[in-house]
Amino acid sequence: MPRKCRKCARPAVINMRQHKLALCAEHFPEWVVNQTERFIKKYRMFTREDRVLVAVSGGKDSLALWDVLLQLGYQVDGLYLGLGIDGGLGYSDESRAMCEAFAAQHPETTLHILDIPAAYGESIPQMAARTRRGRGKPCSVCGLVKRHEMNRIAHDLGYNVLATGHNLDDEVAVLFQNTLNWQVGYLARQYPVLPEGDGFARKVKPFCRFYERETATYAIVRGIDYVYDECPFAEGATTIYYKELLNTLEADKPGAKLHFYLSFLRARDKEGLFANWQEEKVELHPCENCGQPTSAPGLCTFCRMLPEAVRPKVKLAHPLTFTPVHT
Amino acid sequence: MTEQSSEKVLVTLRKQQWQVEPGKTARQIMQELDLNPENYLTMINGQLTDDSARLKAGDRLKLVAVISGGSHAA
């Protein structure tokens, strides 16, 4: 017999060893929804007055997050960026189909779609090949495009909060990597919320305390279809290697990942880990083309990467109201 | 696809399949296959279940990988 649900004694669908808690198909989703609300309040991510845009990829985390935020009654819509990645699997097409299917089942919300190849004439792999960024992998170009376009679209459509489906495994893998390399600047900025300002929308990670197996379980139990296949370019990614390494530790020491992350947040918030850390003031300027903030005068990195002919397409619909920082 | 023996448990992970002896838990089977149980969810005969469930002859165990690369907007 499998373990029984702590609340009703029906068969459990998941046993969360770090919490010593097993729950069934009815009580586990309820627990996820309640915990998400608790994290949103604890880290002061947003309120029901905020307009939240969830970046959805068709994967388990982002679709589960969208589902939970809708259940909680937040003003939330989805944003899908089509990156033109095929990899022999029709990866982007399938991802988009999953997002559209979810949106079709939830008429109370809107899915915004930007197809990058249609908008800018090139897919992400094509941009990476032309610009020779990323040593044969398009991941750095992908990150650059996503950051730029999400912020631009959030601004243009009037959303003040950008939510992503990063889970605890994502956060711990990054924390582990930055600790191994003592990337103090990155460590100081790692937090469930990045405040808005200087032309950037507030960024939040409401799932930052859920294990990846919990978000997957939630999606399956709720009947959310998601893309099981990994992005074809993720194979061999350092993040996946660190996640596997940390799961080896977790198998022997249940709760090790959660403890690592929560101890880090405690050291940061309560023990003044970065109290003496002063981030270098970066002088921000509006990009001459798109108007978004950039650290160097002239064009931002994204606009520099685009062919000149398509640059006018990324201008903001209305100007940002950020105050350039001058040092 | 492997034809399942009625005396064994058929284990599937993506395109890989194994036939294993019944009477073990899903967690024990993963450990015997040198798979870390933290990396997978378990479905027995199509039902999501906690990995302490013991498998009988003829059962089908599907392992669902949960690790993703950390990219959240395809």
**Is A24 exposed, middle or buried, given 0-12, 13-18 or 19+ CB atoms closer than 10 A?**
buried
The predicted pLDDT at position A50 comes to 97
Establish if A310 belongs to a structural domain.
yes
Q: How much is the pLDDT for A1?
A: 73
pLDDT tens readout for residues A32-59: 999 999 999 999 999 999 999 999 999 9
With respect to residue A96, please indicate whether it lies within any of the assigned structural domains.
yes
A176 with A77, same domain? yes
A12 in contact with B, Cβ within 8 Å? yes
Q: Is residue A23 part of a domain?
A: no
Q: How far apart are CA B48 and CA A60, in angstroms?
A: 15
β-strand pairing of A75-82 with A51-55: parallel
pLDDT, mean of residues A161-184: 96
Whole-complex ipTM: 0.90
Query: Where is average pLDDT lowest: A20-24, A98-102, A274-278, B21-25?
Result: A274-278
CA atoms within 13 A on the CB side of A12: 21
- Give the per-residue pLDDT at A157: 93
> Within this chain, do residues A156 and A304 fall inside the same structural domain, yes or no?
no
* Candidates A146, A150, A239; nearest CB to B69: A239
Let me know whether A292 and A151 are in one domain: no
Check whether residue A217 and residue A289 sit in a common domain.
Answer: no
pLDDT tens per residue, range A72-117? 999 999 999 999 998 878 889 999 999 999 999 999 999 999 999 9
Q: What is the average pLDDT across A272-296?
A: 86
- Tell whether B39 lies on the interface with A, counting CB pairs under 8 A: yes
Q: Are residues A53 and A68 in the same domain?
A: yes
Cβ–Cβ under 8 Å, residues A165 and A215: yes
Residue A121 has pLDDT above 60, yes or no: yes
- Chain B nearest-CA distance from A242, in A, is 10
- For chain B, give every domain's residue range: 9-65
Do residues A165 and A200 both lie within one domain?
yes
Q: Is A245 on the interface with B (CB under 8 A)?
A: no
pLDDT band at B70 (very low <50, low <70, confident <90, very high): very low
Is B71 touching A (CB cutoff 8 A)?
A: yes
Homologous superfamily in CATH for domain B9-65:
Beta-grasp domain (3.10.20.30)
pLDDT at A326 > cutoff 60: no
Where is average pLDDT lowest: A13-22, A76-85, A156-165, A290-299?
A290-299
Residue A51 included in any domain: yes
The lowest-confidence range among A18-27, A28-37, A53-62, A115-124 is A115-124
Distant-in-sequence, close-in-space partners of A125: CB < 8 Å, separation ≥ 6: A84, A85, A138, A233
- Are B70 and A167 contacting, i.e. CB atoms less than 8 angstroms apart? no
With contacts defined as CB-CB under 8 Å, which chain A residues touch B74? 57-59, 80-83, 85, 91-92, 95-96, 227, 231
Average pLDDT over residues B13-35: 95
Contact A327, A281 (CB under 8 A): yes
Total domains in the fold of chain A: 2
Which pLDDT belongs to residue B72?
Answer: 41
pLDDT, averaged across chain A: 91
For residue range A230-248, what is the model confidence (pLDDT) as tens digits? 788 887 788 999 999 999 9
Is B45's Cβ below 8 Å from some Cβ in A?
Answer: no
Contacts 24+ apart (CB under 8 A), A67-72: A67/A102, A67/A106, A67/A218, A67/A219, A67/A222, A67/A224, A68/A32, A68/A33, A68/A36, A68/A206, A68/A218, A69/A36, A69/A163, A69/A206, A70/A106, A70/A108, A70/A109, A71/A33, A72/A33, A72/A36, A72/A37, A72/A40
Q: A55 and A164 in contact (C-beta within 8 Å)?
A: yes
Mean pLDDT of A285-296: 90
Whether A37 maps to a domain, the answer reads: yes
Q: Which domain holds residue A312?
A: 280-327
For residue A276, name the pLDDT band (cuts at 50, 70, 90). Answer: confident
Distance between CA atoms of A61 and A243, rounded to whole angstroms? 15
Mean pLDDT of A116-132: 90
Residue A257 lies in a domain: yes
Mean pLDDT of all residues in B54-68: 95
Beta-carbon pairs below 8 A across chains A and B: 117
Residue with tokens 């499998």: A2
Round to whole Å and give the CA distance between B4 and B1. 9
* Residue A5 in domain: no
